[in-house]
Amino acid sequence: MVKDNKTQSVSTTEMKKPVCGIVMPISSIDNCSETHWKEVKGIITDAIEAAGFEARLVSEANDSGIIQKRIVQNLYNNDIVVCDVSCKNPNVMFELGMRLAFDKPTIIVMDNMTKYSFDTAPIEHLGYPRDLSYYQILEFKKNLSDKIKGTIAAAKQPNYTTFLKNFGEFQVATIENKKGTIDEVVLSRLDDINRQITDLWSIQRSPIIECKESETETNEINKLTRKLIDLFCTEKQISESVLYEASELDDIRKALFNFIEEQREMRELCGTPHRIRKAILDNLLPF
């Protein structure tokens, strides 16, 4: 019986695969829906598993805890990370920056509708079609799988660097790992859970305070909103009636919201995206 247990333990150890972390958008952005990103995740996962790795989002873990801590820990610990910078999601770009600071094996992928970012342009990007065309995706999966294997092999060389050391001598960022007793680990986890419960409780109990605008502020916001709507219509060579009749899901209405939300003066005047959107809707005229 003891022999069987040992055999089972060895077998379990042998079956455990190294982890390839995934950093990518998961919610709607730039006209790409959540369903689109689920399909992209499946494609990347297929390529990772074909390379002999376990695919896992860096936000995933087997235990509870603060999600930001989990993400940072996984960005540091994962054997290799595949990062999809399509649509330049801010969270994705931030997490990519952290991984590059650790100077550990990283592969960047990007769809064919996204432009290169200046800072990461020197790093090779594997491309795939945003429309997820079947035959091109088959080629992409093979290329990604081969790239994962090649990167892991290259990372075993003493002078390997993903990005950082190509530009000079830097001290690579590290994370201190502390060992503790089982009691200390349990107490730490309980502290994390308690902190999350407290945060949720505070959010639920905190009233949503709507800041009442003065008449002067309202006039300034309306004046700037009208100016920006007119500018948008001129640039797009459309009449305002097109915007008025479009639904919020139409591309032209989304483009208007994005255009106005990007204006620094508008953000400073309104303070929140909700107030900006309200100002736009209040100032769209049916002509």
Residues 46 and 255: their CA atoms lie apart, in Å, by 34
Q: Which fold has domain 9-167?
A: Rossmann fold (3.40.50)
Q: State which of 2-16, 167-181, 201-215 shows the largest mean pLDDT.
A: 167-181
Provide the pLDDT for residue 172. 59
Q: State which of 94-98, 201-205, 264-268 shows the largest mean pLDDT.
A: 94-98
Each domain of the chain, given as residue ranges in start order, spans 9-167, 182-206, 215-283
Provide the pLDDT for residue 13. 45
Mean pLDDT value across the chain: 80
Q: What is the mean pLDDT of residues 100-127?
A: 90
Provide the 10 A C-beta neighbour count for residue 165. 13
Provide the pLDDT for residue 105. 93
Are 253 and 247 spatial neighbours (Cβ–Cβ below 8 Å)?
yes
β-partners of residue 107 are: 82
pTM of the model as a whole: 0.58
**pLDDT exceeds cutoff 50 at 12:** no
What percent of the chain is modeled with pLDDT above 70?
73
